[in-house]
């Protein structure tokens, strides 16, 4: 009987699979965090530096840390009962830690490195520590223990990185991120105890699907927020009006492309999969790719609204064109996860986005954005034409 104590902390058949209001409240911290990421990335593209790639790499590192906090918290609420006060405390604590990371993020590689690292470590160690305590008599307590051990291991380079400066911080934090993501991919192995990959966990697929959908909406909302702030502070000239309209249209198109079939039936795909955990684990990294594409797109179109004319900095092409391309790349993988096939329009769209880079490199930013948006609109149009008169396709996940 001792092995059954703690069963009430697991999600049961009577627990609603829908996201709770607390989880939606938790997401508010990440709306703010994504704006911090975008603002930092804009500085990487506009401030005169000879070290652009290292600066952008630092921002990517911070985004990976934020995503790891959000995704592991989401997996936790998908496995454990979010109606339990203890789990609600875990979510609230994770939200506070996320806010600490967000407010520290702009200067994370300068004067606020330690506060960013402490916020991250507090969440990543605190979450499995609490669950280990409440599940200490349950037969599945080993999962939280594994997470706790590896979180403690990665905490060393995270804290050490916060205490040093310059390149040493980047090296240590890169090692920490590799440990975190590598341990997750390997199933948090322990000597003599093997592995326990997330794909083998008992999770609520409908809940995970809804949470992924909600985060895509958050990222798209951040794109609207950034473009709105940028345009409201502009001179409102004709070119900036056009840039703002293109930005809004592109945001709507990304929403349409994500939710066209695959995004809508993700929950059904997870339910239809013989190994729902494996599909959900794969979707975690796929959605990270799409979120990265949306954040980069937000940065690119913010630059276009602020500077629609003149010469396009070659580095700006990485976000004006590369952002939508990264989103489409993730969306292509997502389509395969749900349906086991890939639409030709996705592959053609990716090829065209790559092909137009040398053609638009000498044009003003507004023209580059217009060409990119036209390609994205073409993919959305093909989706709409293909859907006309056809029954909805049922998911057929290959995993």
Per-residue pLDDT tens over the stretch 210-226: 999 999 999 999 999 99
264 has a pLDDT exceeding 70: yes
Upper half-sphere CA count for residue 80 (Cβ side, 13 Å): 30
User: How many domains, the chain?
Assistant: 2
Which of these three, 177, 200, 223, is where a domain ends?
200
Least confident of 139-148, 244-253, 335-344: 139-148
377 has a pLDDT exceeding 90: yes
Which of these three, 200, 232, 266, is where a domain ends?
200
Which SS3 state, helix, strand or coil, does residue 296 take? helix
Token pair of 197, please? 């990959």
Q: Is residue 239 part of a domain?
A: yes
Average pLDDT over residues 300-310: 94
Q: Is residue 392 part of a domain?
A: no
Enter the pTM of the model: 0.92
Read off the pLDDT of residues 166-194 as tens digits, 9 standing for 90 and up.
889 999 999 999 999 999 888 888 887 77
**Rounded distance between C-alpha atoms, residue 258 and residue 168, angstroms:** 39
Read off the pLDDT of residues 73-103 as tens digits, 9 standing for 90 and up.
998 888 888 888 999 999 999 999 999 999 9
Q: Is residue 69 part of a domain?
A: yes
Q: Is residue 59 part of a domain?
A: yes
Contact 298, 227 (CB under 8 A): yes
Say yes or no: 15 and 160 in one domain.
Answer: yes
40 has a pLDDT exceeding 80: yes
* Of 101, 116, 63, residue with least CA distance to 323: 63
* Of 254, 288, 289, 282, residue with least CA distance to 266: 282
Q: Is residue 397 part of a domain?
A: no
135 has a pLDDT exceeding 50: yes
**Rounded distance between C-alpha atoms, residue 172 and residue 150, angstroms:** 16
27 has a pLDDT exceeding 80: yes
The per-residue pLDDT for 217 is 95
Range of the domain at 353: 205-387
Which of these three, 184, 200, 216, is where a domain ends?
200
């Amino acid at each position: 009987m001792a092995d059954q104590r703690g069963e009430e902390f697991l999600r049961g058949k009577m627990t609603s699979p829908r996201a709770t209001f607390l989880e939606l409240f938790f997401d508010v911290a990440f709306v703010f965090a994504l704006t911090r990421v975008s603002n930092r990335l804009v500085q990487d593209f506009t401030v005169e530096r000879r070290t652009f790639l290292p600066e952008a790499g630092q921002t990517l590192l911070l985004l990976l840390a934020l995503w790891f906090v959000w995704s592991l918290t989401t997996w936790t609420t998908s496995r454990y009962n979010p109606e339990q006060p203890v789990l609600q405390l875990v979510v609230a604590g994770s939200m506070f830690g996320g806010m600490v990371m967000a407010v520290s993020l702009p200067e994370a590689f300068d004067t606020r490195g330690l506060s960013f690292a402490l916020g991250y470590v507090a969440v990543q160690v605190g979450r499995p520590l609490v669950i280990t305590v409440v599940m200490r008599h349950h037969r599945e307590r080993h999962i939280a223990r594994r997470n706790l051990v590896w979180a403690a291991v990665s905490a060393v380079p995270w804290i050490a990185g916060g205490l040093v400066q310059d390149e040493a911080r980047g090296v240590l934090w890169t090692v920490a991120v590799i440990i975190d993501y590598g341990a997750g991919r390997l199933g948090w192995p322990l000597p003599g105890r093997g592995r326990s990959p997330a794909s083998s966990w008992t999770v609520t697929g409908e809940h995970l699907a809804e949470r992924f959908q909600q985060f895509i909406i958050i990222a798209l909302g951040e794109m609207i927020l950034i473009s709105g702030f940028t345009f409201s502070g502009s001179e409102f000239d004709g070119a900036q009006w056009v840039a703002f309209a293109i930005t809004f249209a592109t945001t709507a198109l990304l929403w349409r492309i994500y939710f066209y079939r695959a995004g809508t039936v993700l929950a059904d795909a997870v339910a239809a999969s013989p190994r729902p955990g494996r599909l959900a684990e794969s979707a975690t990294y796929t959605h990270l790719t799409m979120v990265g594409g949306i954040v980069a797109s937000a940065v690119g179109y913010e630059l276009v609204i602020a500077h629609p004319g003149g010469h396009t900095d070659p580095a700006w092409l990485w976000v004006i064109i590369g952002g939508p391309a990264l989103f489409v790349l993730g969306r292509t993988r997502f389509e395969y996860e749900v349906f086991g096939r890939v639409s030709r329009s996705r592959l053609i769209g990716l090829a065209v986005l790559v092909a137009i880079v040398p053609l638009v490199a000498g044009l003003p930013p507004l023209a580059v954005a217009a060409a990119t948006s036209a390609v994205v609109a073409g993919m959305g149009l093909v989706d709409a034409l293909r859907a006309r008169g056809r029954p909805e396709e049922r998911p057929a996940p290959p995993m």
